[in-house]
Structure formats: C-alpha cells, structure tokens
Structure 1
Amino acid sequence: MAEEQNSNQRQFSVQRVYTKDVSFESPNAPDVFRGEWKPTHELNLNTKINKLDDNVYEVVLNVTVSAKIEDKTAFIVEVQQAGIFTTAGFSEQELGPLLGAYCPNLLFPYAREVVSDLVIKGSFPQLVLQHVNFDALFAQHQQAAAQGQAGVDKPSQH
C-alpha cells in the first residue's frame, strides 16, 4: 500500500540549468555611441519544450532584446536559457502549465543576468529586464491555440 501511495505522489526536480546559446550584435557601433542614449527596446520571448525521456524534459526559454536609436539598431541580444526538469505524477493538464509557465519562470532570472552582462560588455548602459508573468503568457497562448489562431512554438511578444 505504501508503494502505491508513493507512485502517485507528484515529484518535480531541476536537474540542470544552462545557457544553450547566446549572441550579441552591435551592428551600428561605434556610431550609436556618438549620440544621445534614448533607445527604444523590444523584448521577444519564446519557449520550447523537448521531451528527453519518460518524465524528463528540456525547457528552452528564448529571449531576444533589441535596442534602437531612431532607425539604427544599437544592439541585439539573443539568449537561449535552458533547463532539464524531471516530473512524475502530473496529469497532462498539469504538465502544460508546469513546463510552459513554471519552468520558464525559473529560467528567466538566469536569462536576465546573461542579457544584462552582455549589454554591459557591449559598452551600453545596464539593462535589467522587468519580471515577466509567464502564467499570463501561457494562458494567452492556450486561449489562442483553442481559438485556432496560434501555431506551434509561436513567439510571445511582450
């Protein structure tokens, strides 16, 4: 009886968090350093889930940040922050939000740090990304998918 209860318990663990890919471009340097620094920023987020084994998943959070001054791109930062997660005892309905919202929420602080470090190393003022509500983004994606408007791995723009 004890074994049966243990097999029904939910388990979640983080096996590893890592930077899978990173890119920094400043295509208009050094000209962008010569004027007043009043950029506009754009943030694009995308999450990809790869099943590695039974109950083992890789979740990849793609973060792309671009800054422009008027019509010139100051910089573009692309980060793929990933994690390997083990799950057990979750239903399909529970796995969706767990992998699609909770795991990206765990990965985001790591991606935010990588973005900040790259921007500073590119000789630009510090950029700290604001918190993202991945629960709301996941709910929007699910609603759009239910209405037939979303494609697989469609980026969420924020």
Structure 2
Amino acid sequence: MNNAKPSVLDEFCTGDLGFMVTSVRNGIQDALERELAPLQMTVPQYVVLNCLAKGWGRTLSDFCRVLAYDSGAMTRLLDRIAAKGFIRRVENESDRRSFLIELTALGQAALPQARQVTEVAFRRLLTGFSEKDAETLHKLLSRILINAKSD
C-alpha cells in the first residue's frame, strides 16, 4: 500500500484550487463588506463607483462583465446606487438604446473614504506578507489568469 501523500499540484487538480480560490474570494468579500458597511455601501456598489472613477466602464454591459452579473441583476444594482445619489444615467449619444453611467458629486465625494476603508481591509488581509511575497502572489495569480484565458 502506497502511503505517499499526494502532491499539492495533484490536490489542486482534483478541485482544491477552485475551492481555495473561492474561499479566498469569499474572505476578501466579507472583509470588504465589513469595512464598507459604515458607509452604507456594498462591495458591488463600490466596484461600480471605483470602475467609473478609473475609467474602466460606463455602460451596463461594461459592469456586467466586471461583476459577472446578468443585465437584470446589474440594472437593479445600478438602481440602488442611483437611489443613494452616487451615480446618474445619462443619454448615450452614440447608441440611443442604452445609457451611460456617471458619478455624481456625491459619488465622487464618497469614493475617497470607500477607497481608504478597502485599503485597510486589504492591508489586514496581507498582514505578514513581504514585498517579495506580494510580488510572488501577483506573479502566480497572473499566470493562472493567463492560463485561464488560453483555454
């Protein structure tokens, strides 16, 4: 009988990698939700505001791709953010069937504090990591993303 312990790579290939990545994602989400709660903001709402500020998206379909939401769920999320006064919908001159999303003055004002509390959460999650550890983590996660896109 072979009592050899399976390699980590073998364990990852039997589903452990997916489980671990999902667990890490959930842990990050929970940590960010705790930090954003006093601001009356959820993680998806923050992601939309941050994407707008960074120029990473302005349309419903842009945000659907970023958050992996369907258009109905994204419409409801944008409605909630608009109700808080953080965003507004404006006419899309190049496509009358759609609209563009813009940050309002209130959204622009809320963003620095939201960014600050998310940074607190990420720094806590990276406690004990050296710069070299962070570089290695970035490199390895980037490699997984590249491999995922090449399938």
Higher helix share: 2
TM-score tier by shorter-chain length is under 0.3
With the length of structure 1 as denominator, give the TM-score of the two structures: 0.24
With the length of structure 2 as denominator, give the TM-score of the two structures: 0.25
